[in-house]
Amino acid sequence: MLTIPFIRANSEITIQGLRKKHVANASDIVGQLIAMDDQRKSLLQQAESALEISNVAAKEIGTLMQSGQKELAEGKRAETAALKGTIKEKEEAAKAAEKQMLDLLVTLPNLPHSSVPEGKTAEENEVVLTWGSLPKMEADAQPHWDLIKKYDIIDFDLGNKITGAGFPVYKGKGARLQRALINFFLDEAIKVGYYEIQPPILINEDSGFGTGQLPDKEGQMYVTKEEGLFLIPTAEVPITNLYRDVIVNEKELPIKNVGHTPCFRREAGSWGAHVRGLNRLHQFDKIEIVQIHKPETSYQALEEMSLHVQGLLQKLNLHYRVLRLCGGDMGFASALTYDMEVWSGAQNRWLEVSSVSNFETFQANRLKLRTKVEGKSILCHTLNGSALALPRIVAALLENNQGPDGIKIPEILVPYTGFTHIN
């Protein structure tokens, strides 16, 4: 969430930024917000000055009562009783004005960083770099949805039976490959200083608001019927919300956390072409890295996180590219996002396997996540990224490494899997 003081002081920058993110009527909205805030302030002032009078009178009544001057006290009481209505009325009006302002404010996305390219769709994302080369594929190379059947390692039919579409069952070497990747990714993160967290995978409404999933995107999450809790769409939500309503000691920054969780996404209405097999699921495993920084170090951290993710892909020997997302393709809360895509040899296309973002103060403002610098409390910057999401990595590994003696496991994973081939 953007802050009102920022918008007031930088209304032109705000309008330009919102336009880059393709918010319609950006200029009108900013004008409305400032007007609503003016109204809020003026009502608040009226309420507070009435309150002040009433507080002073209440104190006088107290003193009079104690010294036994009942008649004087009664007179005062009648006087202040009349104020009650005004106070309540002004307070309610101020609260209503604030709510109106917040309701509008929470619908605004974060402003993009200056390096974010203009553009509306994924085609306009900027390719930052490409690593490796196209895997040499045989003419009869099979897509992963055929390979998983051939080797009987991931079973969609069984998932359909026990749950529904998009909930595959991993079996035998399929399950072991999953476990190997999870441990590999966690170990690599711990090696470079991340602290491992195992958070709950159900979260409450406040947490959903803190990281920006609510109030807008509840349609993407599964909800429990009795308690109204949400199944997490990403570990970003619980791990970042650990710091909700926290003033972090400056000495503890930066904070670097990593966690593995299953992720649940309803993906309502997004099924169709290009989502076969492992390409899009309702439940999948992901290792998430989350960092909390002082503003001046957050962009350096973003680059480090990007390099960390790239290191994982290089160790797995996957041909990948890095994209800088354009204004129209970026997430709601992000100021700058890099997507990492791996080449899928049999599908002949790029698959997104990671998204690394700096949210600057956007989440921190919702979370009330602050630190103190020279005695003043300031909002922290939050960042996160997938390192990595499993299904598409598995898809690419299966497709790119298929051969006559089965699917070859990358060397670095063999100590984790305990086998060299799936055959």
In the bound state with RNA, the residue whose beta carbon lies nearer, of 62 and 415, is: 62
Min dist CB 241 to RNA, Å, is: 14
DSSP3 helix / strand / coil % (the chain, rounded to 5): 45, 20, 35
Nearer CB in complex with RNA: 157/374 = 374
Residue 365 has, within 13 A of its CA and on its CB side, a CA count of: 18
Q: Which residues bind RNA (CB under 7 A)?
A: 41, 44-45, 48-49, 51-52, 54-59, 61-62, 65-66, 77, 80-81, 84, 247, 370, 372, 377
Residue 123 CA to residue 210 CA, distance in Å, equals: 30
The CA dihedral of 265, 270, 276, 280, to the nearest 10 degrees, is -20
Contact in structure between 356 and 340 (CB atoms under 8 Å): yes
Q: Which residues of 35-54 are buried (b: 16+ CB within 10 A; e: fewer)?
A: ebbebbeebbebbeebeeeb
Shortest separation between residue 251's beta carbon and RNA, angstroms: 11
Nearer to RNA, 255 or 369 (CB): 369
* CB 417, min distance to RNA, A: 28
Shortest distance, CB of residue 135 to RNA, whole angstroms?
Answer: 44
The least CB distance from residue 333 to RNA, in Å, is: 20
Q: Report CA-CA distances (Å) from 356 to 183, 352, 372.
A: 20, 11, 26
Cis peptide upstream of residue 254 (ω within 30 degrees of 0): yes
Residue type, 292: I
> Is the CB of 81 or the CB of 129 nearer to RNA?
81
Q: Which is nearer to RNA, 5 or 272 (CB)?
A: 5
Instruction: Output the smallest distance, CB 70 to RNA, in A.
Output: 10
In whole angstroms, how close is the CB of 12 to RNA at the nearest point?
20
> 339-367 burial string, b = 16+ CB within 10 Å, else e?
bbbbbbbbbeebbebbbbbbbbbbbbbbb
Question: Closest approach of Cβ 324 to RNA, in Å?
Answer: 33
CB of 254 closer than 8 Å to CB of 298: no
CA atoms within 13 A on the CB side of 270: 12
Among residues 191 and 251, whose Cβ is nearest to RNA?
251
Of 3 and 183, the one with the shorter C-beta distance to RNA is 3
Closer Cβ to RNA, 217 or 372, answer by number: 372
| 257 C-beta neighbours (distance < 10 Å), count | 21
Q: For residue 10, how many other CB atoms are within 10 A of its CB?
A: 15
Question: Dihedrals φ, ψ of 231, to 5°?
Answer: -75, 135
